[in-house]
Structure 1
Amino acid sequence: MAFNVDLTNCDREPIHIPGQIQPYGFLIAVDNDNIIRYHSENVSDLIPGLPSLLLGKELSEVEYALSPNEPMGFISQLVTFGKTTKSFEQINPFQLELNGNSYYMIIHQADDLFVLEFEPANSEATADMQKMIGRSISEMLADKNLQNLLNNSAEQVKKVIGYDRVMVYRFAADGHGVVIADARNEELESWLGLHYPASDIPKQARELYKLNHTRIIADVNSIPSKIVTLADGEPQPLNLTCSQLRAVSPIHIQYLKNMGVASSFSISLMYKKELWGLIACHSYTPRYIDYKARESAKLIGQILSSALEFRQDEENQQLQDQLFANVEKISKQMQRSNSLEDALTTDEVSILNVTYADGAVLIYEGNTFKFGKVPNDDQLAGLLQWIKTDVTDTFFCTDHLSNKYAPALKYKDIASGIIVSAISKEMGEYMIWFKPEQLKQITWAGNPEKPAEVDNNGMLNISPRTSFEAWAETVTARSAAWSNEEVKAVIRLKEELTYAINQKASAIRQLNEKLKQAYEELDTFSFTISHDLKNPISVIKSYAQLLTRDASIRPEALRVIDRIVDRADKMNYMINEVLDYSRIGRSEIDFMDVKIGPMVNDIIKDLSLVYDTARLQITIGETPVVKGDPIMLLQVFANLLSNAIKYSQRADPQQISIEGKITDTGVLYRIKDNGLGIDIKQLPRIFELFNRTDNVKDIEGSGVGLAIVKRIVEKHRGKIWVDSELGKGSTFYVEFSNPA
């Protein structure tokens, strides 16, 4: 089925099912019974002796031509071996002699089919590839400077694969890219610093680069070979997501032709499992490098990705340590001072030092404190009114404020970027940071507005740029981006401030009256749940279980009834969780010494009965005694350890550690895992009731556990916070103060 690319859908072009392949190789796809369901039209052209139509034949019927030097049925055995081991990595690539030429066979699974791709086993790249790559990697990593690393990498890749131009191309947050390193033949002009719009490499193409870390287009002028299939037996096109031979979007082919490029090769650069950029290689004559050469080039990309991640993490850690040190100083100031305002606004270190902002404002208990460059009083009043009415979350961050709040354009030189952290939305108390406009000129490779042509039906169709002359654009009203480290520091400061407020100022704030009212409502709510909800749920479950005894009920209906019983149990579980949450607020604590070590060991034994702990590596450090209620403390550690195990089940190995230490003010425990992690944007709400992050929706949970933990910890006059990153795990810190 044809897909017409126009201005409304160019980012949805189904490039993974083009229905054709590049003609330098050929393809055969078989089902689970080794029956050929698809193949490329050029099979018989490249392999004499094969009929032009192979559909419906068993793979064994054509193996005489595909593997003449191997035992009969050998390819079928390879496919079966891969299916049995659920991996074709040990097989790929398998070298065959076909028609006097050497070919690589690469096998992969596509949905319920198994795709066999055959491509020439020869390359125009240097024959001594392995030795050259070893030398190149050493030279790549010789310099610790990040830019020098990228420059060296471009030069070394060019030496290894011999393309005319090799660029390191980095993606921005909005999907557009910029050339940040460039190695080229002397006669070619530099493209260093040129920006390319996101539509040049649209979203679905970027997703494929995350799955396939190399991509070759051998000759833009070659005519693709169509994939044939049974006329009425295969309604769906063959999924070529993981195909080496996958044909190229006509839009991209025309794009390369307009640039004068005859062949391209790209290597993905990854950072924390996301696409950071590409090593993009261009040749102005057709050029083919074979599978093994591409795999060797992929190794360079993987090593460069690791080096990038290491150096970027090292740089990020230095920034975070610096900002967190300032948060720690403010925290100590709040502990020493009777005035939170004084602690936050001291000359030594203030809230301004928690980020790299040029200005900050603290609005607290009816007072406004200003630091550095901030909007004037009238501008600030309007901004605060907008924040109160339009910013619904307790945390807000942007580097383009005037795009959200138009009046800010008048003071873009002060506040183009803003972070808002609400201390109390109800009382209009906030911490706000400002970054000024960072004027910059972006040089695009041609006008970034992709031109279009009107077809006979009046549809605007994409027409790839024909001009790649530099086109400058000045970006205004945007600040420097807020880093993850700045966001983490603000979140941490908010936790410290909330703790200090609860410790020192709660008795004189309106919050007390609201809490009393909330407790009364919670008591009423708890009573309603106990009597008005639990009984009907029990009745529903009982009736559903009675229905299962009726022999006349069909199996489909029984499955629905089982689902009803399961959901009733789930609802009952959530009601009990809410009741636990409400009881904590009313419970009085009789402080006593609680030994945490034996408690942790018992918890882990119990959890091993619930979860698969075969791959679990758990480290238990020092476990100092905590003063508190044993039952409540058991809830805290059981919940945190259960979460650590539950959300790190996919890690291999699964690593969890717990350790405590005695501090000047009490006892600090740390529970660390290497699991799924938490998106930084969701960290501010992680302890809220019924809050569950997007990446754990498929894992059983109620969203109440961490809210209960936080409430218990606060009941013990302690505090809890978390440091986490997606894909890298989470570290929860619980600090228990010594009771007065």
Structure 2
Amino acid sequence: MNLSDPTQFAVDLTNCDREPIHRLGRIQGFGFLVAASMDWMIQHVSANVGAFVDGCSPDSLLGEPLDTLLPSAAMHAVRGRLQLLTHNEGSERLFGFDLLGTGRPFDVAVHVSGHSIVIEAEPSAEGPATNPGTLVKSLIARIQRTDDLAGLFRESVRQLRGVTGFDRVMLYRFADDNSGEVVAESSRSGLESFLGLHYPATDIPQQARALYVRNQIRIIADVDAEPVPIEPGLDPNGETLDLSLSLLRAVSPIHIEYLKNMGVSASFSISIVIDGRLWGLFALHHYSARHLAMELRSTTELFGQMISLIIEARLQKEQRRAEETVRDLHDRFVGKIVSATPSVEALADFADDLRQIVPCDGFAVYAKGTTRSFGLCPLADDMPALARFLNRAAASRIYATDELAAVHPAAENYADRVAGILAIPISRSPRDYLLFFRKEIVQTIQWAGDPASKLGTFGPNGPRLTPRKSFEAWQETVRGKSLAFTEAERKAAETLRVSILEVLLRFNEETERRQSLAAQRQELLIAELNHRVRNILSLIRALIVQSRPGVRSVDEFASIIGGRIQALARAHDQITKQNFAAQDLAEIIQTEVQAYIGSKAGRVRLDGPEIHVEARAFSTLALVFHEMVTNSAKYGALSDSSGSVTVSWHIDANDTCQIDWRETGGPPVAPPSRRGFGSTIIERSIPHDLGGDAEVTYHLSGLAARFGLPASHYQLRDGDTQRLPIGEAPQTAETMTETGSLQGLSALIVEDNMIIALDAEQILLDNGIARVFTAASVADALAILDAEAVDLAMLDVNLGSETSFALIGPLNRKNIPFIFVTGYGEALDLPEDAGPVESIKKPFADHHMLAALARANARRAVAG
């Protein structure tokens, strides 16, 4: 025996938890399996392929291209289904499909296993087809009318038995320790009931639980049928085919024997998965061979997923109700202790309130070595030892157990009063606790056989389960345990801990901390205020000194100084009204225009994208534009009744905001005979303070100025920025070349599969396409082309009952570049009038599609 070969694993009851059940190398014989590589070469074939495909054998198929077995239509369908798979999880299915091109319908499942594409097929069932949506809707409607979870469980198994025809349908619910209980059952008359029986966690090994989560339906059509090997058992790398997602996967010999011991000939299971965890399982048993068609199995899988959501919603609803009740009790308790501001010891005065929040049989406060207790509690002499035991737990977490004596042997001394405890630590030094105690609850559990001794005799697979005795009800009396503390009660206790520590016990410490922080903030604010006031005073002093030369009167001097200080004040107002947020460049200019020239403001025209200037640049820009406006009003275009000013801005290739000031229609302009402080502000402020540039030109027809504002001092809004937003991955030179030409275009997607069309649409929108139109047929596409402006098109070759080739002529006449998307692989035969068009194969990657469209657009542009 090859120990490295999983197909040679010798399984018995002592090692079934390690059996590689997903790599058994065999399938059930009611269908056949073909596995192909990602380039469509056949790697594995089930040995029974000849029973379904005339003239074929594994030896004749292995290593050959898949299209030697499947016709082109089937290849196209398989590629399309692969495109729908998400992260290689689950399988996609086709029902009543002519897989082999012989006219015989098959139900087909396709999934990806490692580096292989696995195709499983079984003959379609005869008779009328199932409408999955209608059937599931009918089932769910009956179930939703139930009042509680117990009624939901009963109705679920009844409906499943009616739909599937199995002799027995059970619903297992798993406990936290992975043991299971039959919580609902529907069976034909004459069968012994399993309702209420418990099953140990070992009855479903861990690897089987994992498969129940990944592959949520499992059929065993006939326990007496011989499994069919997969040829070859090992690939060239010595590995077996992973059948985790297979619908035909063979059954572990030990599980076959388990079912035979129960007299079960066929079984079917449907997983109930909640929050990624195996919450329960529908187990269907039949006492003769029984096979369900793949379409019906898929329908019940959808039913199981819907039931999972309904159960989860009802569980959450129950939990919310319990949490709301506890929250109300908690809020009332907090209100009481806040008003009383008690000490730790005084919390015992609120024992009744606390016992309502966490139901218990006894309550105690252990603080500073003393105890105050109520109800069933350990004696005061037992408390120090219990506190030392609790001290070993984490200091900032609650501790709860329903079997205290199992972890703290000294608790045996008071087991008649206390079996379970929940402890809330409420201080660090000394360690004090709120303690909630629960008494022993004697439980009688009915097991389906003794879980500790299920081995009976020896069978073909080693130690085996003795028939009948393994499944007779066996009662176990459990002592020393209390009612367990639920997750909701643990959360309530944690909320209590936070409230007591943070709101009450640390109230004085928090108050002192806040006072200290407030004092620090006040000192920082005062220092910042002093700094800003000194800067403003220094700036005003400089304005006064620099504005004095050249003035002819005190009034003129006052006017100049007043205007410049007002410009600073207006800039300051704009900053503070938005809490130092960036402000619109247009508003800065408009503020100066409206403040200085009033009625002439309509003669100033602003044009440019929405630029928001950072607060640190406000004062500089306000002064510059104040000088520009006042100069124009005194000497330039705004000094008479006919001139106008245009201020425009744009972002250049260096991400600099270029601001252009143009005056026209005013009196003739001549360069100034002397340079005053205003000219200095205009020409030197932006270069000196902001690291930009400035240039002023005195044309006879009117003054022109250009100012360059670096990218660090502004933000470009409305998505027009040429800089990447924060968090966006930078584009490479290659992707910029290929996809940059797609920005702002409109595209047409012709695809009969809605999910693939939606996926392609989102890819295009995410990569700069402005508008996307989708069509499922040639007629729909022609209507769009007649009504809308389309720049690009992506055509799926096969649209079900027609091809997209009929669109080639209309697209060429409108000079619209296009590409084809196909599931036919390399064998695509295009019409002559298609020209040098590019095609991409399904399943396609995002960047392949985008690059192909960009190249098509570029080729058409060159040809045009």
Band of TM-score, shorter chain: 0.5 to 0.7
Comparing 322-331 with 75-84, greater Cα deviation is found at 75-84
How many Å separate the matches in 1 of 2:13 and 2:115?
34
Deviations 1:645-692 (A, max 9, x none): xxxxxxxxxxxxxxxxxxxxxxxxxxxxxxxxxxxxxxxxxxxxxxxx
Letter in 1 for 2:74: I
User: 1:55 and 2:54 equivalent?
Assistant: no
Say if 1:360 and 1:432, in contact at 8 Å, map to a contact too: yes
Letter in 2 for 1:13: E
What's 1:590 paired with? Answer: 522
Q: CA RMSD in A?
A: 3.6
Which secondary structure state, in structure 2, belongs to the residue aligned with residue 497 of structure 1?
A: helix
What's 2:16 paired with? Answer: 10
How many Å separate the matches in 2 of 1:360 and 1:607?
61
* Cα distance change of structure 1 residues 381 and 165 upon mapping to structure 2, 3 Å threshold: same
Structure 1 unaligned regions, length at least 5 = 64-71, 516-583, 613-740
Say if 2:351 and 2:363, in contact at 8 Å, map to a contact too: no
User: 1:291 and 2:294 equivalent?
Assistant: yes
Which secondary structure state, in structure 1, belongs to the residue aligned with residue 273 of structure 2?
A: strand
Letter in 2 for 1:481: A
How many Å separate the matches in 1 of 2:24 and 2:577?
60
2:41 to 14, 35, 44: 35
2:52 to 26, 36, 46: 46
What's 1:67 paired with? Answer: none
What's 2:75 paired with? Answer: 76
The offset of 1:226, in angstroms, is 0.6
2:161 to 158, 162, 175: 158
* Cα distance change of structure 1 residues 25 and 293 upon mapping to structure 2, 3 Å threshold: same
Comparing 404-413 with 189-198, greater Cα deviation is found at 404-413
User: 1:449 and 2:452 equivalent?
Assistant: yes
Q: How does 1:435-584 map to 2 (within 5 A)?
A: 435-452=438-455, 461-466=462-467, 467=469, 468-504=471-507, 506=509
What's 1:427 paired with? Answer: 430
Deviations 1:527-585 (A, max 9, x none): xxxxxxxxxxxxxxxxxxxxxxxxxxxxxxxxxxxxxxxxxxxxxxxxxxxxxxxxx99
User: 1:387 and 2:390 equivalent?
Assistant: yes
* Cα distance change of structure 1 residues 327 and 599 upon mapping to structure 2, 3 Å threshold: farther
Say if 2:400 and 2:422, in contact at 8 Å, map to a contact too: yes
Deviations 1:251-303 (A, max 9, x none): 11110000000000111112223211011110001111111101111222222
Deviations 1:434-463 (A, max 9, x none): 22222111111112125447989xx99552
Say if 2:167 and 2:286, in contact at 8 Å, map to a contact too: yes
How many Å separate the matches in 2 of 1:213 and 1:27?
19
The offset of 1:133, in angstroms, is 4.1
The offset of 1:345, in angstroms, is 2.9
Normalising by structure 2, what TM-score? 0.56
Which secondary structure state, in structure 2, belongs to the residue aligned with residue 109 of structure 1?
A: strand
* Cα distance change of structure 1 residues 106 and 132 upon mapping to structure 2, 3 Å threshold: closer
Deviations 1:111-134 (A, max 9, x none): 111000011211799967765544
How many Å separate the matches in 1 of 2:83 and 2:392?
60
How many Å separate the matches in 1 of 2:495 and 2:402?
21
Which secondary structure state, in structure 1, belongs to the residue aligned with residue 522 of structure 2?
A: coil
* Cα distance change of structure 1 residues 597 and 216 upon mapping to structure 2, 3 Å threshold: farther
How many Å separate the matches in 2 of 1:13 and 1:352?
49
Say if 1:34 and 1:59, in contact at 8 Å, map to a contact too: yes
Aligned length: 526
How many Å separate the matches in 2 of 1:230 and 1:13?
17
How many Å separate the matches in 2 of 1:348 and 1:76?
72
The offset of 1:413, in angstroms, is 4.3
Comparing 147-156 with 358-367, greater Cα deviation is found at 358-367
* Cα distance change of structure 1 residues 376 and 446 upon mapping to structure 2, 3 Å threshold: same
How many Å separate the matches in 2 of 1:347 and 1:80?
68
Letter in 2 for 1:307: I
Letter in 2 for 1:38: H
Percent of aligned positions that are identical: 32
* Cα distance change of structure 1 residues 129 and 388 upon mapping to structure 2, 3 Å threshold: closer
* Cα distance change of structure 1 residues 236 and 454 upon mapping to structure 2, 3 Å threshold: farther
Say if 2:85 and 2:92, in contact at 8 Å, map to a contact too: no
Deviations 1:321-341 (A, max 9, x none): 112222212211221113234
Deviations 1:441-492 (A, max 9, x none): 1111112125447989xx9955235221111001111222211211111111
The offset of 1:211, in angstroms, is 1.2
Which secondary structure state, in structure 2, belongs to the residue aligned with residue 166 of structure 1?
A: strand
What's 2:192 paired with? Answer: 189
Letter in 2 for 1:474: T
Say if 2:130 and 2:296, in contact at 8 Å, map to a contact too: no
The offset of 1:74, in angstroms, is 2.7
Which secondary structure state, in structure 2, belongs to the residue aligned with residue 50 of structure 1?
A: coil
1:610 to 694, 708, 727: 727
Deviations 1:679-737 (A, max 9, x none): xxxxxxxxxxxxxxxxxxxxxxxxxxxxxxxxxxxxxxxxxxxxxxxxxxxxxxxxxxx
How many Å separate the matches in 2 of 1:299 and 1:232?
34
What's 1:555 paired with? Answer: none
Say if 1:93 and 1:291, in contact at 8 Å, map to a contact too: no
2:149 to 146, 150, 156: 146
How many Å separate the matches in 2 of 1:264 and 1:372?
52
Say if 1:169 and 1:280, in contact at 8 Å, map to a contact too: yes
The offset of 1:360, in angstroms, is 2.1
Comparing 150-159 with 94-103, greater Cα deviation is found at 94-103
Larger radius of gyration: 2
1:255 to 235, 253, 258: 258
* Cα distance change of structure 1 residues 243 and 334 upon mapping to structure 2, 3 Å threshold: same
How many Å separate the matches in 2 of 1:198 and 1:230?
31
* Cα distance change of structure 1 residues 446 and 155 upon mapping to structure 2, 3 Å threshold: same
How many Å separate the matches in 2 of 1:455 and 1:137?
45
Say if 1:40 and 1:227, in contact at 8 Å, map to a contact too: yes
Say if 1:452 and 1:460, in contact at 8 Å, map to a contact too: no
Letter in 2 for 1:449: A
* Cα distance change of structure 1 residues 79 and 436 upon mapping to structure 2, 3 Å threshold: same
How many Å separate the matches in 2 of 1:107 and 1:276?
27
2:98 to 72, 84, 96: 96
* Cα distance change of structure 1 residues 598 and 447 upon mapping to structure 2, 3 Å threshold: farther
Which secondary structure state, in structure 1, belongs to the residue aligned with residue 309 of structure 2?
A: helix
How many Å separate the matches in 1 of 2:231 and 2:50?
13
Letter in 2 for 1:590: Q
What's 1:267 paired with? Answer: 270
Which secondary structure state, in structure 2, belongs to the residue aligned with residue 418 of structure 1?
A: strand
Say if 1:251 and 1:464, in contact at 8 Å, map to a contact too: no
The offset of 1:150, in angstroms, is 0.8
The offset of 1:412, in angstroms, is 3.2
Deviations 1:3-43 (A, max 9, x none): 23356643222111111111111101000111111111111
2:240 to 215, 237, 249: 237
Say if 2:82 and 2:92, in contact at 8 Å, map to a contact too: no
Say if 1:168 and 1:277, in contact at 8 Å, map to a contact too: yes
The offset of 1:317, in angstroms, is 0.9
How many Å separate the matches in 2 of 1:438 and 1:122?
53
* Cα distance change of structure 1 residues 447 and 125 upon mapping to structure 2, 3 Å threshold: farther
Comparing 169-178 with 397-406, greater Cα deviation is found at 397-406
How many Å separate the matches in 2 of 1:124 and 1:404?
62
Letter in 2 for 1:39: V
Say if 1:344 and 1:350, in contact at 8 Å, map to a contact too: no
* Cα distance change of structure 1 residues 335 and 125 upon mapping to structure 2, 3 Å threshold: farther
How many Å separate the matches in 2 of 1:483 and 1:452?
34
Letter in 1 for 2:31: G
Say if 1:330 and 1:349, in contact at 8 Å, map to a contact too: no
User: 1:222 and 2:230 equivalent?
Assistant: no
How many Å separate the matches in 2 of 1:151 and 1:344?
46
Say if 1:124 and 1:288, in contact at 8 Å, map to a contact too: no
How many Å separate the matches in 1 of 2:580 and 2:498?
27
What's 2:334 paired with? Answer: 331
Which secondary structure state, in structure 2, belongs to the residue aligned with residue 438 of structure 1?
A: coil
